[in-house]
Structure 1
């Protein structure tokens, strides 16, 4: 036998508590923690399920109908959702979602009626609530809730009801506590709804179903640090507070279970005090009661509760202070507590199979393993044996069946009966005095439980207690058979008058007249017997207010009783106004009260006109009997007896007063416009002659704008008012095709030339109006052009021709050598095409390749390093250096790092070869990009409009082919760029050919010159900044979202340890410091 140790329960129950003095009574002693007697024989068995990596967090376990186990959990090392089962006879495990990162958090598992597995879990990479199942044989995954504009996936709890409907509660960061359902059998889509709104409510949710499959959720409202219960009341969700958190913050775990009586049980963690707490509903007070279950250290995190078939409670929870798995059990009477694993116990999950075997999965946080511990409660192997002393009568051996039950048999005792104490002796010599005792019963010859000394029939088994003790009593009413007139009827024992009815008024077949042999029952308890042949019979046995009927018509003689007879000596059938009188026509009214005693359809004639009230339309008016049109006016007085809408015609015009607008004027009956003037006399019968809708003092009949108080006249009839200070004024009050002049140059915004439709920009004012006159060809620019139908455009030379069309007439300034410098300013007007020129239009000679060039370079460099400002400004120029750096590194970030001094210096030399026409078009093209680079759709529309305009102008010989081709090429390039690229070049004149350009060797030289110009400190700052900016990752590279703060991070290059975060405003990567 195992060595015995001290311990055990402090609450004991002995059943039965008494027995025969002969001994041999089988006894059961109930308590708890009996396993402490046998430290080497624990009822719990521990298994390591998965030790492949850091695995086991967020575990959830369920037992199927065959008792086979299924566990879902997280692989933190690889970022997987994993699944383990012993369904094949041995434990196997494998990943079912290997997405990496933050996959597999907050898992919850259950099985349907076909033992198919269903799992909810979080994908915190994208903040989705996910779902996995093997219903189809192989595993499939889908999304329950993608979070919408918020987040989902945390604190999910899944359960399946008796109809295979899946219920999931979870926390969505935007909407807080949410609930989703879907059929496990038929599939379909998830239906979700919000249970409770609130910034931080719905955390650590747990779901359970009552006997009607109605869901209930326990959860934390972290905003108020309280425990709440969510469920549906009618069609609305309610979330009453279970624990207000006044004694401590409620957080880090809740778990709910519902017993066979639909009572709710919740365990949860008090974060402030480090306690495990328990809440249940008190049906006596109709209030929730909260209890601290375990306060021994920082205990109670991540609790999980389950209920067995006997409604006993089983709770697994984490001892956070000591990293242990703890277990609490309520056996229906009291709680007991024990430690199941000393090395770890995070995220426990408890399930109970159909045989009440207990299984707990958990994370061993010491060894980073998934473990499972089980308690097979129906095991036939006892824990061991103990000695039980019946004080004064010796010891017997007790068998300890499990942690709560000891069985043994009583030894012989005192024949006269005695109560003895019980003691458990331990093998080490110590003892446990029990708080229960056993009573030996005295001798009983007939074995009826009554000692012979008290038994009136000691040799005959009996249980009578009233007239005799211990004698036979067949009906068990306490009276012996010999003293009972009704030995087989427990409700009666006496019959004084011997009529077969018992004298007990509350018994079966009780005698209402115990001293009258002719009467037994009185059904209505009115003192008259039901037997019509007996004394004082009752003719109405079910009506206590009546008992006699002299005339036999069914109505009782008692005038104060129910349905009393108004004519007790004359049989009758009347019901109104009195009962039981003569009613010849059978209409219910007695003849004495019936105005028509032989006409069943009439009873009254109130106005005495000889017509019964039922047929008389006016029963109280002797002058009227009929109302054909039913308007309430008798036909004799009705001017329109067949028209229910009319009855009076005051003016005699044949139109009833109700329809007559002028009931007292025979010449008028209609006023269509309601102005008080009859249509016959009204010049405007459909218009109110006195209406002024806009209150401007001008009647609507005379007001061109009756709804606008700022306008009243429209001379040209174009819908725009003549008043220039009013709403929508007409700038051209006498020209019907024009009303607006946006640039105030005297020409209208509208146009009548349909060929302009394809060249007008959509942002320009005005519209096409057939036959429009004085049309402004340039409606956004005040101008003075007057010829060729192109009015209102800039005309710099005052020749009447718009500037943009002057080239056609040969009036534009000339650039003979096409070097970009107009002839009027060109000191070298005949330079060879393609060579670089200075601002005066003269060729710039090369400085490379010969000795003189080298000397020139050398003297230049010396001057540059000497700090000669003239050399810098006149020869190189700060703007050129800036453009060279940007062109070389091709990054906006580097340009942004340059000192402010370099951002305003203009380019001091010209080297592009643009015509004036090309330069104008390029300036306009760059303006479009600067205006719309952030909206690629709008920019694309404007570019297409420009392309169409160029084509039209080229066709009309307004621009050159070379200009059109160059601009169209740039348009096509711009349409292929995204918004980031467009923003980068929007302000770059070099891109549009409007600034200097340099080749590769010149860019390198310029960069060296720029660095030489700086002081030592400037070079030390800029050079590293340029190098660092070049190493930044491109904005198009995608990083990962952190579940902790929701920001996007990137390690670049991979494995370098250098981290960057996404700036949400600029969308660029910035280095994490």
Structure 2
């Protein structure tokens, strides 16, 4: 038989009521006179009488209670208000057997009444020092009506200053004392970037300057301020094989240069994808190669409105005009389109992007000795229309194309039959019609033309006077170049081959070219828009050697500084000269 002994006299039952509604129940169970061992299911119910059905709260049911040496302990919760001061009896069921009689609960369980202390029964003597703080007082529970004095004494504490006697309803100020906060008062990790006054403390430097730039300052947040080097630097981009011929340079939307060129050894069209604005490093990409075909001759590169380069070039062994349509800004992939394969066509190509976003290409038809254009129907130039612009004599060599402010193309080229510099002014965007004009016929002129549009909307053309071995410019007097004047720009040595012209941010032209006498890369720095006077220095050698500076191409970076691609012909290296100021003076 199961018997439950209560710890009243013989010590078998003990209860304690927690500050909540939970009680801890301890008991000792015997079976046939011996302490019970096992894990029986147990149920506990609370009643208001010894035998009645006046159950208080819900039953507490345990599927298994561990009993060792007859002793067990359970936590019981009959709900808030179960112990309100009235008599209570506990009924226990073990393994389906209800123990009788119910046990009367007395003694310590009634400490549960601490949840409802009678008014006036607790005073300052019953509260331990420090037992009541802000966490024990409800918000707005204490106001002036609850205080027994007409003033308060507010202490400032360690590291603080201020406080003192303050009338009820008044205010006082407590602040951090001078030197009141030190390392001991700051928790680890409590002060970070957001807590630092940048005007008082310089953060750790976190940035670096790209190659070709120099550190000129540090921002409060630790980032660095960099500027281009104040002097020009020449970099070798590729030196494997005979590379760099027929190169052209353009600046992409991200501000980084990209260079198209021919690899004569591999018979390949390539690009150099610059990693930084000065092009001190980058990636060589082969776009199309055929060891039996010299690809990439007369390459010309432009950046479309979608930010992707497109390159026109001449496949010399197959003698046709082609374009490479880059799929991305890096030109890591793309498609080749053959535009004109009528005998030997595509020499001296030049490409530009019109205001409608479509490319247009000028080039030379060798068999017919004609100047032609290819009017692209789409941005990738997968299709279009070829047009003959000028077919009188031997015309169209050394062509260069630009788009005027009115959106119409204009082309500079050479009339080799008459040794003249020519311009073809298109009268519509597709160049289906236009006017051919002779600009300069004094001597043997018109080779190595390059054209740009000045800020005043008027074209300017750089070219070579081969009879006198001089570089020249032609200054158009109107947008169609129906009038103008020519001007020499260098009088020393045999110069002017491979000329290239660009307009700087200040509106002034700058011209790169090759000096054959000394084998140097040269620059001419115009001081005004007409190039009638020269800046300092007027002419400068950028790179010197036995034979450097052929196939020059100049562009203006987003920072306003010129950058020039060219060939070290002695070593067949592709090179870049990155200027340190707008005039390339150092």
In 2, distance between residues paired with 1:230 and 1:283? 13
Are residue 77 (structure 1) and residue 265 (structure 2) matched? yes
**Alpha-carbon spacing, 1:72–1:191, altered in 2? closer, same or farther (3 Å):** same
Shift of 1:218: 0.3
Are residue 46 (structure 1) and residue 243 (structure 2) matched? no
Aligned to 1:103: 295
Shift of 1:138: 2.1
In 2, distance between residues paired with 1:237 and 1:129? 22
Q: After superposition, what is the alpha-carbon deviation per residue over 1:428-452, rounded to whole angstroms, capped at 9, x for unaligned? A: xxxxxxxxxxxxxxxxxxxxxxxxx
Shift of 1:187: 5.0
Are residue 217 (structure 1) and residue 411 (structure 2) matched? yes
In 2, distance between residues paired with 1:166 and 1:236? 17
Identify which of 392, 395, 398 aligns with 1:204.
398
Q: After superposition, what is the alpha-carbon deviation per residue over 1:274-330, rounded to whole angstroms, capped at 9, x for unaligned? A: 111111024699732111111211100010000022211010101112211000111
Aligned to 1:236: 433
Identify which of 477, 482, 494 aligns with 1:298.
494
Shift of 1:115: 1.6
In 2, distance between residues paired with 1:130 and 1:186? 12
SS at match of 1:240: strand
Q: After superposition, what is the alpha-carbon deviation per residue over 1:561-618, rounded to whole angstroms, capped at 9, x for unaligned? A: xxxxxxxxxxxxxxxxxxxxxxxxxxxxxxxxxxxxxxxxxxxxxxxxxxxxxxxxxx
Q: After superposition, what is the alpha-carbon deviation per residue over 1:894-918, rounded to whole angstroms, capped at 9, x for unaligned? A: xxxxxxxxxxxxxxxxxxxxxxxxx
Q: After superposition, what is the alpha-carbon deviation per residue over 1:34-56, rounded to whole angstroms, capped at 9, x for unaligned? A: xxxxxxx9721111000111111
Map 1:497-536 → 2, pairs under 5 A? none
Aligned to 1:262: 457
SS at match of 1:103: coil
Are residue 358 (structure 1) and residue 559 (structure 2) matched? no
**Alpha-carbon spacing, 1:334–1:80, altered in 2? closer, same or farther (3 Å):** same
**Alpha-carbon spacing, 1:185–1:338, altered in 2? closer, same or farther (3 Å):** same
Map 1:558-707 → 2, pairs under 5 A? none
Give TM-score, length-normalised by structure 2: 0.55
In 1, distance between residues paired with 2:340 and 2:393? 18
Identify which of 462, 471, 492 aligns with 1:276.
471
Aligned to 2:525: 329
Shift of 1:252: 3.5
In 1, distance between residues paired with 2:317 and 2:412? 26
Identify which of 328, 331, 338 aligns with 1:143.
338
* Unaligned runs of at least 5 residues, structure 2: 1-228
CA contact (8 A) 2:273 2:285 kept: no
In 1, distance between residues paired with 2:275 and 2:383? 29
In 2, distance between residues paired with 1:349 and 1:52? 21
In 1, distance between residues paired with 2:566 and 2:337? 26
**Alpha-carbon spacing, 1:146–1:307, altered in 2? closer, same or farther (3 Å):** same
In 2, distance between residues paired with 1:58 and 1:121? 9
**Alpha-carbon spacing, 1:403–1:104, altered in 2? closer, same or farther (3 Å):** closer
* Unaligned runs of at least 5 residues, structure 1: 1-40, 379-400, 405-1073
Shift of 1:199: 3.9
Q: Which has the higher contact order (CA 8 A, sep 6+)?
A: 2
SS at match of 1:153: strand
Aligned to 1:623: none
In 2, distance between residues paired with 1:179 and 1:187? 13
In 2, distance between residues paired with 1:304 and 1:265? 11
CA contact (8 A) 2:311 2:324 kept: yes
Map 1:1025-1040 → 2, pairs under 5 A? none
**Alpha-carbon spacing, 1:277–1:402, altered in 2? closer, same or farther (3 Å):** closer
Shift of 1:362: 0.2
CA contact (8 A) 1:113 1:162 kept: no
In 1, distance between residues paired with 2:573 and 2:553? 15
Give TM-score, length-normalised by structure 1: 0.30
Q: After superposition, what is the alpha-carbon deviation per residue over 1:62-92, rounded to whole angstroms, capped at 9, x for unaligned? A: 0112211110111111211111111489411
SS at match of 2:486: strand
Shift of 1:369: 0.2
Aligned to 1:288: 484
Shift of 1:167: 1.1
In 2, distance between residues paired with 1:161 and 1:132? 18
**Alpha-carbon spacing, 1:361–1:186, altered in 2? closer, same or farther (3 Å):** closer
Aligned to 1:320: 516
CA contact (8 A) 2:475 2:486 kept: yes
CA contact (8 A) 2:255 2:558 kept: yes
Aligned to 2:541: 339
Map 1:475-486 → 2, pairs under 5 A? none
Aligned to 2:507: 311
More helix by share: 1
Q: After superposition, what is the alpha-carbon deviation per residue over 1:609-653, rounded to whole angstroms, capped at 9, x for unaligned? A: xxxxxxxxxxxxxxxxxxxxxxxxxxxxxxxxxxxxxxxxxxxxx
SS at match of 2:345: coil
Q: After superposition, what is the alpha-carbon deviation per residue over 1:916-966, rounded to whole angstroms, capped at 9, x for unaligned? A: xxxxxxxxxxxxxxxxxxxxxxxxxxxxxxxxxxxxxxxxxxxxxxxxxxx
SS at match of 2:269: strand
Q: After superposition, what is the alpha-carbon deviation per residue over 1:520-560, rounded to whole angstroms, capped at 9, x for unaligned? A: xxxxxxxxxxxxxxxxxxxxxxxxxxxxxxxxxxxxxxxxx
**Alpha-carbon spacing, 1:185–1:170, altered in 2? closer, same or farther (3 Å):** closer
More strand by share: 2
Q: After superposition, what is the alpha-carbon deviation per residue over 1:698-725, rounded to whole angstroms, capped at 9, x for unaligned? A: xxxxxxxxxxxxxxxxxxxxxxxxxxxx
Aligned to 2:345: 152
Aligned to 2:150: none
Aligned to 1:893: none
CA contact (8 A) 1:323 1:365 kept: no
In 1, distance between residues paired with 2:289 and 2:320? 15
**Alpha-carbon spacing, 1:102–1:188, altered in 2? closer, same or farther (3 Å):** closer
Aligned to 1:164: 357
Identify which of 294, 317, 324 aligns with 1:132.
324
Aligned to 1:566: none
In 2, distance between residues paired with 1:264 and 1:153? 24
Q: Which runs of 4+ in 1 moved over 4 A?
A: 283-286, 401-404
Shift of 1:403: 4.2
CA contact (8 A) 2:422 2:446 kept: no
Aligned to 2:282: 91
**Alpha-carbon spacing, 1:163–1:283, altered in 2? closer, same or farther (3 Å):** closer
Residues matched between the structures, number? 338
